[in-house]
A and B are shown apart, each in its own frame.
Chain A
Amino acid sequence: MGFTDHIEEFGGKPVREYDLERGLQDPAGAAYRLRLEWDDWQGGRTVGGSFVARTPRRPSPPAPQTGLLGRLFGSGKPPSQPPPAPAGADAEKDLLVRFLAEPGVEAVTALIFGMWEEPYEVDSSGIVAGLVAGRDRLANLRSLFIGEMLMEENEVSWIKQSDMSPIWAAYPELELFQVRGNDGLSLGGIWHERLKSLIIQSGGLSKTVVQQVAHAELPELEHLELWLGEENYGGDATVEDLEPILKGERFPKLKYLGLRDSEKADEIAEAVADAPILDRIEVLDLSMGNLSDAGAAKLTASSRIRRLRRLDIHHHFVSDEALRRLRDLGIEMDASDSKEEEDFRGETYRYIAVSE
């Protein structure tokens, strides 16, 4: 459970980490990840911190008022709104400022934001503001991931997100948008003509976000993936909130629907089993949740499910018997990683420390 590896591929490109010393070595061929190490911000490093006025938690050296930010707009096109003056964040030490100023950055098509400064305290609004301010530099950006942090770096439910809606207008050519972390997340009124993939990973997805997605205008969307999570972690979205999606009112080109990592997997399975959306999609993904025989039975009994090309329920609690019946449907199926309720009997799971 939990994200342990950084992704190695994104937007169809191998991922490279942006390194201030080496600069941009392969802007067209690689997806770039901007990330800090856990102690970088003690040296004043930030990612996007220069683009928002923020009260620093700890005193920082005064930021320069000109310099790099001025160079961002050196192409002669004045911004429609001047960016807020950096307060408490030194532009020279800001990874996003430096990245946007790199020659060749216009060739970048895929961008990942990993750990930024104190991500359990500081939200992603600086990154969003920086992306908006730098949109002319990133005119070729097609794939964007904000919040690619490991559990070891910051637990999913502690990642502080923000209002992402300025991204829609700033990046009309965007095709893939992925975000990790639900706390503070808002997608606003989603209206985008080209977006093909939307992926939201969380420990608990809020009603607000699910409703925003359910009312989104995304005529080109092919891949919708929501990690619904648990109520304990902010997941107050209900199955009813998914209705507009399940009814097929949205997303005429949808091919993949993922309602993953849910503690209500059985309820979701029941709601999806006879939903009109099944007539449209090719792949249904209910993996990583707590799907059990109850949910599996609803799927088996569905009149529409046979049209699917593939059903993914890996990481589940379904019995072998119920799995067999599902397999008899003849759909390509991933039912690996079958889980069992843990045995909590006392001593069998305690151990004696060994002296090494």
Chain B
Amino acid sequence: MLTSGGKRLQPLTIVADTRDPRVRLFQQALSGCGQAPASVVDYLDLLAGRVDWDRVLAQGALLRIESPGRGWPICRGLLLRGWESARVRGLEALSPDQIEGLEHDRCRIAGPEQWYFGFCMLLGEIEAALAGRCDVQFTSRPADIALLFDKRRCRERLCGAGVPVPSSLGPVRSYEDLRSQMEGAGWSRVYLKINYGSAGSGVVAYEMATGGREQAWTSIEMVNSAGGVRLYNSRRIRRYGTHAELATLIDALCHHDVHSEVWIPKAGLNGRRFDLRVVAIGGHPTHVAVRAGSSPLTNLHLGNVRSDPDEVIGRMGPNGWPGLMKTCMVVGRLFPRTLHVGIDVAVTPGFRRHAVLEVNAFGDLLKGIAADGLSTYEVEIQTLLGGWGPPAIAEDGESVSTDLTGVVPC
């Protein structure tokens, strides 16, 4: 059991799906650090407007916003909340009826933009509700969370700070649009990602060459239905090689807001390609997991091996690894009002270069990975105990609601 030196943490409240295992794990970490358990606010109560913040949040409370998880009731609530927002932006929106239909079709790729808008609205409501409570401190600033879920904006923020990121073509509207953009830029290979999707959802690795050659690798499964082609996230990587398939796949994907990036080759270790998840806490990269998969060519990490990075560190050598750590520190410090970020980093086959692929707002669960014997949650708690707080600078006025108006519709 860790001693906190008798220090007491401010009262902590977690916003989460109460049944999410992360909640229990965080409570265990609190208890292990000799701290009182956190109170929990369920997303469902928030969505229903049943939360009285003044009653829930003690004076000087810390508020930890957790992932909404993958449970249906909360997902449904966020989709409903996002319905109006999506429609106003001219995006394909799932009506309440269509949303109900998703309950039994959970693996389908549907409504990621709508989910995002609903989530941002909720974050904005939390922010607005707590505008008068300067004593309350977010461990993850709502505006940061909103930005981190938007791959394009996140990438821009990183790019602006000189962080190595893959080049981007920008939004893609259709298969033909993609090919013409690629030809114009001289690109042969590209990664397509749903801009507001999670890392494992809706990713296509596409390549084309002269002679009409083209192919795509993806875990997306296409299914024909009455209403057209539907896309599902599956655990199996497929190769699509015919023009008809590829046009159908990419056109269907482009019904959503699709972000394109250059396909950076990833290094392999012992027969498995890998990338790194680095957790930065309080601006310091502390925990590193190697996520290796035998699934080629996409960011699929389901059930894949997480291991210690010693071998990668050795292969990257005395210049490569410190450079990567420095990059992660820069990324962490781009979000000074957010205690933890989960950074996905690719290492290229020569083990000399790296690039940041994504930054995750809820990427701090790294089971089995310890730094100096402490888990990510334990380090977060220690950092909070050490007095982590927003920097003493003038309020920059950036909030979720202003961020949302900056979102550009497709």
Give chain B residues whose Cβ lies under 8 Å from the Cβ of A152: 265-268, 273, 296-297, 349
> DSSP majority for the B interface?
loop
A120, B188: Cβ atoms under 8 Å? yes
A4 to B274, CA, bound (A): 9
How does the 8 Å CB contact mask read for B270-308 relative to A, with 1 for contact and 0 for none? 111100000000000000000000101100001000000
A152 to B274, CA, bound (A): 11
B349, A354: Cβ atoms under 8 Å? no
Q: Is B336 located at the chain interface by the 8 A CB criterion?
A: no
* Listed A/B pairs (11) with beta-carbon separation below 8 Å: A6-B350, A120-B207, A150-B268, A151-B296, A349-B234, A350-B233, A353-B70, A353-B233, A355-B119, A356-B198, A356-B342
A35, B350: Cβ atoms under 8 Å? yes
Q: Is B68 located at the chain interface by the 8 A CB criterion?
A: yes
Q: Is B224 located at the chain interface by the 8 A CB criterion?
A: no
A153, B106: Cβ atoms under 8 Å? no
Q: Is A58 located at the chain interface by the 8 A CB criterion?
A: yes
B271, A349: Cβ atoms under 8 Å? no
A39 to B215, CA, bound (A): 20
A150 to B349, CA, bound (A): 8
B265, A38: Cβ atoms under 8 Å? yes
Partner of B362, one of A37, A120, A356: A356
Q: Is A121 located at the chain interface by the 8 A CB criterion?
A: yes
Give chain B residues whose Cβ lies under 8 Å from the Cβ of A351: 107, 200, 233-235, 302
B273, A37: Cβ atoms under 8 Å? no
Chain A's closest residue to B106 (CB) is: A352
Give chain A residues whose Cβ lies under 8 Å from the Cβ of B264: 38
A37, B350: Cβ atoms under 8 Å? yes
Interface residues of A in 147-174 (CB under 8 A from B): 150-153, 155, 158
A354 to B272, CA, bound (A): 23
A353, B270: Cβ atoms under 8 Å? no
Given A5-B269, A150-B349, A152-B265: A354 and B186 within 8 A (CB)? no
Q: Is A341 located at the chain interface by the 8 A CB criterion?
A: no
For the complex formed, measure the closest distance between the CB of A55 and the CB atoms of chain B, giving whole angstroms: 12
A153, B349: Cβ atoms under 8 Å? yes
Give chain B residues whose Cβ lies under 8 Å from the Cβ of A17: 350
For the complex formed, measure the closest distance between the CB of B297 and the CB atoms of chain A, giving whole angstroms: 7
A355, B296: Cβ atoms under 8 Å? no
For the complex formed, measure the closest distance between the CB of A97 and the CB atoms of chain B, giving whole angstroms: 20
A355, B198: Cβ atoms under 8 Å? yes
Q: Is A236 located at the chain interface by the 8 A CB criterion?
A: no
Give chain A residues whose Cβ lies under 8 Å from the Cβ of B302: 351
Q: Is A328 located at the chain interface by the 8 A CB criterion?
A: no
Chain B's closest residue to A348 (CB) is: B235
Q: Give 9 nearest A-B pairs by CB, closest first.
A: A4-B268, A353-B201, A152-B265, A350-B107, A5-B268, A120-B209, A349-B235, A356-B360, A153-B265
For the complex formed, measure the closest distance between the CB of A180 and the CB atoms of chain B, giving whole angstroms: 14
A349 to B303, CA, bound (A): 12
Q: Is A2 located at the chain interface by the 8 A CB criterion?
A: yes
A120 to B266, CA, bound (A): 18
A352, B233: Cβ atoms under 8 Å? yes
Give chain B residues whose Cβ lies under 8 Å from the Cβ of A150: 265, 268, 349
B residues engaging A (CB < 8 A)? 67-70, 106-107, 109, 115, 119, 149, 186, 188, 197-202, 207, 209-210, 213, 215, 221, 232-236, 262, 264-273, 294, 296-297, 302, 342, 348-350, 353, 360-363
A5, B270: Cβ atoms under 8 Å? yes
Give chain B residues whose Cβ lies under 8 Å from the Cβ of A120: 188, 207, 209, 213
Give chain A residues whose Cβ lies under 8 Å from the Cβ of B297: 151-152
Given A353-B109, A355-B119, 10 more pairs with CB closer than 8 A: A5-B267, A6-B350, A37-B350, A153-B265, A155-B207, A158-B213, A351-B107, A351-B235, A353-B200, A354-B200
Interface residues of A in 94-127 (CB under 8 A from B): 118, 120-121
Q: Is A340 located at the chain interface by the 8 A CB criterion?
A: no
A121, B70: Cβ atoms under 8 Å? no
How does the 8 Å CB contact mask read for A329-356 relative to B, with 1 for contact and 0 for none? 0000000000000100001011111111
A350, B232: Cβ atoms under 8 Å? yes
A152 to B268, CA, bound (A): 9
Given A121-B188, A350-B233: A355 and B273 within 8 A (CB)? no
A residues engaging B (CB < 8 A)? 1-6, 17, 35, 37-39, 42, 58, 118, 120-121, 150-153, 155, 158, 342, 347, 349-356
A153 to B297, CA, bound (A): 10
Give chain B residues whose Cβ lies under 8 Å from the Cβ of A37: 348, 350, 353
For the complex formed, measure the closest distance between the CB of A336 and the CB atoms of chain B, giving whole angstroms: 13
For the complex formed, measure the closest distance between the CB of B369 and the CB atoms of chain A, giving whole angstroms: 16
For the complex formed, measure the closest distance between the CB of A15 and the CB atoms of chain B, giving whole angstroms: 12
B234, A356: Cβ atoms under 8 Å? no
B271, A5: Cβ atoms under 8 Å? yes
Partner of B271, one of A4, A153, A347: A4
Q: Which one of B115, B296, B342 has the highest number of Cβ atoms from chain A below 10 Å of its Cβ? A: B296
B265, A354: Cβ atoms under 8 Å? no
B107, A347: Cβ atoms under 8 Å? yes
For the complex formed, measure the closest distance between the CB of B391 and the CB atoms of chain A, giving whole angstroms: 26
Partner of A121, one of B209, B262, B349: B209
A58 to B67, CA, bound (A): 47
A352 to B219, CA, bound (A): 12
For the complex formed, measure the closest distance between the CB of B329 and the CB atoms of chain A, giving whole angstroms: 21
A39 to B202, CA, bound (A): 25
Give chain B residues whose Cβ lies under 8 Å from the Cβ of A350: 107, 221, 232-235
Give chain A residues whose Cβ lies under 8 Å from the Cβ of B202: 353
Chain A's closest residue to B217 (CB) is: A155
Given A37-B350, A120-B188, A350-B221: A342 and B236 within 8 A (CB)? yes
Give chain B residues whose Cβ lies under 8 Å from the Cβ of A58: 186
A120 to B214, CA, bound (A): 11
A355, B209: Cβ atoms under 8 Å? no
Give chain A residues whose Cβ lies under 8 Å from the Cβ of B294: 1
Given A5-B271, A58-B186, A355-B67: A349 and B236 within 8 A (CB)? yes
For the complex formed, measure the closest distance between the CB of A261 and the CB atoms of chain B, giving whole angstroms: 14
A1, B200: Cβ atoms under 8 Å? no
B70, A352: Cβ atoms under 8 Å? yes
Partner of A356, one of B109, B215, B363: B363
Give chain B residues whose Cβ lies under 8 Å from the Cβ of A3: 268
For the complex formed, measure the closest distance between the CB of A289 and the CB atoms of chain B, giving whole angstroms: 17
